[in-house]
Structure 1
């Protein structure tokens, strides 16, 4: 990962992970034949559960056309694959539509997690 803002994103993430509740997860909407899903699976999936992001927001894979799991509410249904939706307590807290490559994916995800943690802190106050 060579993204220039990666250190800043890592700092945001590290300071946010402790604040997040256990009810946070990253939903990945995918479908067979999706070349961008295949790229994500090759470039990110093997390391995802080993990262701070993966520990803060465990991955849950869903098929694009399948019904949503019980208790999950999204702002709108996903249209593109892959679509990554960060959910906190079953409600959408952020979204990445498409896969922009790992140099952009990690900072975008770190920012979503940090924003969800800030929102969680504000709700606790």
Structure 2
């Protein structure tokens, strides 16, 4: 398996052939939290009370769960194809979109994607 390793230099991914350099950078970035593009905790919402019992039960099931949306720099190209590298990833933990994930090639795209997912989640909780 030929995995490509990347480090971040001023939010720009830079390919590195030196595995030791990558490992040291990666360990430091984990410790310092510099791999995180964004992290958003969405608190649970109050139960919804109007509507049919079935609808209320379904909506309140998702509203009752706090949600964590995390976007990080992976440090490795995780794409399946030879297209743009998947170096950043957004993961959703909890709620209606639990276990959803999106991949991005750049810091800027990862930020935009993170905000889009947070907006989609919060809009779905308004019902």
TM-score, scaled to structure 2: 0.38
Q: Which one has the bigger helix percentage? A: 1
Higher RCO by CA contacts (8 Å cutoff, separation 6 or greater): 1
Larger Rg: 2
Q: Which one has the bigger strand percentage? A: 2
